[in-house]
């Protein structure tokens, strides 16, 4: 059973009434599939998968999906079945999300989109050939293959219930949904004019790891920053007891995970994932502002979401996660990854054990990794805010040049969020104060939110951005600080204890206290697609637990 309750205002929204759908996927004698609605999540003798789905987006800002597959079937069947059941149960939401994020994605940039498509096809063809060549005795390509199979399952499950020809979603569309982070970098890399067409300094996400006083807990939290049209969200839990390889009988360490996700997307993408291996894995985007590095890209590589999925499944600790993730670096969706290994943590320990925190930074052609537990130990927290920590990565990706051109906003130490985290993270003593900091935005009052702008501050310059609140007629030194359909779109948090049961606290939508809540009908960009989204985004945190 998926149980969730409002943390601060129990019972206020009456969402206990939201219908929960439980279903199992059976394989019939002729090899076809049937979806059977059930009362309890109990598998039949020929069930490949069981699931529970609850769409409470209008009540809480989130939908919830819990899927398990049966070990009695091959890995390939399990991957397909998990995808099939997800595609079927979430079909309505998937179609809404498709309209919001895929339908108009090439408008006005058809040529660029065609080059990206060609690059993507080449990459998929290369992956297909590697899968064919490899014997699957080694786990890597086995798990890449399962990733692709699960996507096929999503497309087929979707069409199993969505018969309307007007609502067709192709497998290619599903694949595109699953590489949205990579696409952004491919747009810069393949732009024939070589003009930077992305929003300069565009921020993606804030994250904080906070060691509570007395080493009582290590809280891990993440805010997604994204365009507001992306806000149809599903918190998912997958339990897929795959083998390490097709010749192995050993179940993978990362067989179960929960994550904050999106319709049709089979990994977090935020990223924020809690794994059965004891790892909690998250990232913020660092991007690449050095055009010279784009020459390092090749379609003969593995896109980011696939590499993170394989690492999530196979890794046993921070070091092995970073090793697996580094194979076949695509140089796209360039992120600072944080791998927290809760196996290395005991609440109340006097000293931290090494390997509690591994950090990885990726740019095209280069990856740097290190055990940085020491930093958590010495300053009590690790902040992450779209700026590279490693000096080499920082310089190579062109940030030094941006500081020379635009000033400290592009520096690691002095960018507003670095200073806000350094001022406020040490004051976090428990979960409520952590949530408060992760939702923090007081941009008209906070001296650290000021900029050389008119009016003299930006709602981008805080832990959870609200760019919609910047006036359209304001003046800003670079586009990131200006008015746009962009901001913090959620908050997720877990702890040592919660992570053991894949639990998290999650808050959907842009931050609002003390700011006015986000309302679509009040926006000048209300024509941007947001099918199915609540008009008013004013939700409290919910605690998500699973049975
Ligand atoms: C499909 O779309 C076309 C064109 O928009 C429309 O004329 C037709 O009625 C639609 N069919 C259904 C079944 O909705
Ligand atoms: C980075 O660039 C700055 C300024 O150009 C230089 O002083 C510094 O040594 C560089 N650091 C590395 C690690 O390359
Ligand atoms: C915002 O800043 C003002 C002025 O410093 C302060 O009075 C208020 O409490 C702050 N609000 C929050 C939520 O931090
Ligand atoms: C922007 O518009 C607002 C409201 O119309 C107005 O009060 C303000 O003076 C304008 N600011 C600038 C810089 O033009
Ligand atoms: C939220 O409610 C509106 C109005 O009933 C509905 O049109 C929309 O589809 C719902 N959104 C989701 C995600 O279910």
Question: What does the pLDDT look like over 169-204, one tens digit per residue?
Answer: 999 999 999 999 999 899 999 985 655 444 566 668
Which atom of ligand 5 is least distant from the CA of 57?
13
Mutate-to-test residue for ligand 3 from 420, 428, 440, 445, highest number of ligand atoms within 8 A of CB? 445
Query: Please, what is the Cα angle at 340 between 338 and 342, to 5 degrees?
Result: 175
Dihedral of the CA atoms 492, 100, 105, 523 (nearest 10)? -90
Q: What is the mean pLDDT of residues 308-313?
A: 98
pLDDT at 134 over 90: no
Q: Under a CB-based contact definition with an 8 Å cutoff, are residues 26 and 44 in contact? A: yes
Report which protein residue has its CA nearest ligand 3's atom 13: 514
Q: Is the peptide bond before 455 cis (omega within 30 degrees of 0)?
A: yes
Count of structural domains, the chain: 1
pLDDT at 277 over 80: yes
Q: Under a CB-based contact definition with an 8 Å cutoff, are residues 233 and 100 in contact? A: no
Which residues, in sequence order, are bridge partners of residue 272? 282
Tens of pLDDT, residues 100-117: 999 999 999 999 999 999
Q: What is the mean pLDDT of residues 464-477?
A: 97
**Rounded CA gap, 269 and 257, in Å?**
14
Terminal alpha carbon distance of the chain: 5
Mutate-to-test residue for ligand 3 from 438, 448, 514, 515, highest number of ligand atoms within 8 A of CB? 514
Report which protein residue has its CA nearest ligand 1's atom 11: 166
Catalogue the long-range contacts made by 432-437 (C-beta closer than 8 Å, 24 or more residues apart). 434/208, 434/210, 434/219, 434/221, 434/493, 435/221, 435/491, 435/493, 435/505, 435/507, 435/541, 437/208, 437/463
Report which protein residue has its CA nearest ligand 4's atom 14: 473
pLDDT in the model for residue 10: 34
Name the 3-class secondary structure at 214.
helix
pLDDT at 8 over 80: no
pLDDT in the model for residue 11: 35
Of residues 135 and 29, which shows the higher confidence score?
29
Q: Is the peptide bond before 514 cis (omega within 30 degrees of 0)?
A: yes
Decide: 166 in ligand 1 pocket, CB within 6 A.
yes
Which atom of ligand 4 is least distant from the CA of 475?
13
pLDDT at 34 over 50: yes
pLDDT in the model for residue 44: 63
Lowest mean pLDDT among 195-209, 427-441, 516-530: 195-209
* DSSP-H helix ranges across 411-543: 416-424, 431-438, 496-500
Which atom of ligand 4 is least distant from the CA of 473?
1
pLDDT in the model for residue 406: 93
pLDDT confidence tier of residue 46, bands split at 50, 70 and 90:
confident
Which residues, in sequence order, are bridge partners of residue 383? 208
pLDDT in the model for residue 6: 54
pLDDT in the model for residue 459: 98
pLDDT confidence tier of residue 12, bands split at 50, 70 and 90:
very low
For residue 176, report the distance from its CA to the centre of ligand 5, in Å: 25
Question: Residue 32 has which token pair?
Answer: 């076809």
Decide: 521 in ligand 1 pocket, CB within 6 A.
no
pLDDT confidence tier of residue 42, bands split at 50, 70 and 90:
low
**Rounded CA gap, 475 and 43, in Å?**
60
pLDDT in the model for residue 292: 94
Q: Which residues of 366-378 are buried (b: 16+ CB within 10 A; e: fewer)?
A: bbbbbbbbebbbe
Closest-lying ligand to the alpha carbon of 532? 5
Q: What is the mean pLDDT of residues 251-274?
A: 98
pLDDT at 15 over 80: no
* CB contact set of 45 (below 8 Å; sequence gap of 6+): none
Which residues, in sequence order, are bridge partners of residue 371? 358
Decide: 411 in ligand 2 pocket, CB within 6 A.
no
Query: Please, what is the Cα angle at 224 between 363 and 362, to 5 degrees?
Result: 10
Mean pLDDT score of the chain = 94
pLDDT confidence tier of residue 227, bands split at 50, 70 and 90:
very high
pLDDT confidence tier of residue 16, bands split at 50, 70 and 90:
low
Q: Under a CB-based contact definition with an 8 Å cutoff, are residues 236 and 65 in contact? A: yes
Mutate-to-test residue for ligand 1 from 163, 166, 167, highest number of ligand atoms within 8 A of CB? 166
pLDDT confidence tier of residue 319, bands split at 50, 70 and 90:
very high
pLDDT at 266 over 70: yes
For residue 163, report the distance from its CA to the centre of ligand 1, in Å: 13
Q: What is the mean pLDDT of residues 136-144?
A: 87
Structural domain span for residue 155: 2-546
The full DSSP string for 261-314 is E-TT-SS-SS-EEEETTSEEEEEEE-----GGGGGG--SSSB-HHHHHHHHHHH
pLDDT at 14 over 50: no
Tens of pLDDT, residues 418-438: 999 999 999 999 999 999 999
Q: Under a CB-based contact definition with an 8 Å cutoff, are residues 335 and 358 in contact? A: no
For residue 399, report the distance from its CA to the centre of ligand 4, in Å: 33
Tens of pLDDT, residues 334-384: 999 999 999 999 999 999 999 999 999 999 999 999 999 999 999 999 999
Decide: 323 in ligand 5 pocket, CB within 6 A.
no
**Rounded CA gap, 210 and 424, in Å?**
11
Read off the CATH number of the domain in which 349 is found.
3.60.60.30
CA-nearest of 413, 390, 470, 417 to 206 is 417
Q: What is the mean pLDDT of residues 129-138?
A: 83
């Amino acid at each position: 059973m998926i149980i969730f309750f409002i943390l601060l205002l129990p019972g206020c929204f009456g969402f206990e009434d939201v219908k929960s759908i439980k279903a199992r996927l059976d394989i019939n004698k002729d090899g076809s599939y049937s979806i059977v609605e059930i009362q309890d999540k109990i598998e039949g003798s020929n069930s490949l998968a069981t699931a529970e789905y609850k769409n409470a987006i209008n009540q809480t800002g989130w939908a919830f999906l819990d899927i398990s597959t049966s070990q009695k079937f091959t890995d390939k069947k399990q991957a397909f079945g998990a995808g099939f059941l997800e595609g079927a149960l979430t079909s309505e939401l998937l179609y809404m999300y498709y309209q919001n994020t895929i339908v108009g994605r090439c408008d006005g940039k058809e040529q660029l989109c065609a080059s990206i498509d060609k690059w993507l096809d080449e990459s998929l063809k290369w992956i297909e050939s590697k899968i064919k060549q490899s014997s699957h005795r080694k786990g890597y390509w086995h798990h890449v293959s399962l990733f692709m199979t699960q996507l096929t399952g999503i497309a087929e499950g979707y069409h199993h219930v969505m018969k309307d020809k007007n609502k067709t979603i192709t497998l290619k569309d599903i694949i595109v949904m699953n590489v949205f982070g990579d696409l952004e970098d491919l747009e810069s890399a393949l732009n024939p004019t070589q003009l930077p067409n992305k929003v300069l300094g565009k921020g993606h996400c804030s994250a904080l790891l906070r060691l509570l006083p007395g080493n009582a807990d290590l809280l891990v939290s993440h805010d997604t920053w994204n365009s507001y049209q992306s806000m149809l969200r599903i918190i998912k839990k997958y339990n897929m007891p795959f083998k390490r390889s097709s010749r192995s009988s050993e179940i993978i360490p990362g067989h179960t995970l929960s994550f904050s996700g999106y319709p049709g997307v089979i990994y977090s993408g935020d990223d924020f994932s809690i794994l059965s291996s004891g790892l909690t894995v998250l990232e913020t985007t660092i991007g690449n502002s050095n055009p010279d590095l784009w020459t390092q890209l090749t379609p003969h590589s593995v896109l980011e979401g696939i590499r993170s999925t394989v690492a999530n499944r196979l890794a046993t600790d921070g070091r092995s996660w970073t090793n697996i993730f580094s194979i076949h670096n695509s140089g796209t969706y360039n992120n600072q990854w944080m791998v927290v290994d809760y196996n290395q943590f005991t609440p109340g320990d006097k000293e931290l054990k090494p390997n509690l925190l591994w950090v990885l930074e990726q740019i095209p052609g280069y990856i740097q990794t290190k055990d940085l537990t020491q930093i958590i130990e010495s300053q009590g927290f690790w902040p992450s805010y779209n700026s590279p920590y490693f000096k080499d990565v920082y310089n190579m990706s062109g940030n030094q040049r941006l500081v020379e051109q635009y000033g400290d906003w592009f520096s690691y130490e002095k960018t507003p969020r670095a200073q806000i985290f350094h001022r406020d993270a040490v004051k976090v003593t428990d979960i409520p104060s952590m949530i408060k900091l992760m939702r923090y935005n007081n941009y008209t009052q906070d001296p650290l939110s000021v900029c050389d702008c008119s009016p003299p501050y930006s709602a981008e310059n805080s832990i959870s951005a609200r760019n919609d609140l910047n006036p359209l007629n304001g003046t800003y030194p670079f586009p990131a600080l200006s008015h746009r359909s962009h901001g913090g779109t959620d908050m997720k948090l877990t702890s040592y204890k919660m992570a053991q049961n894949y639990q998290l606290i999650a808050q959907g939508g842009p931050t609002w206290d003390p700011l006015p809540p986000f309302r679509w009908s009040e926006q000048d960009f209300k024509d941007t697609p947001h099918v199915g989204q609540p008009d008013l985004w004013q939700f409290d945190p919910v605690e998500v637990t699973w049975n």
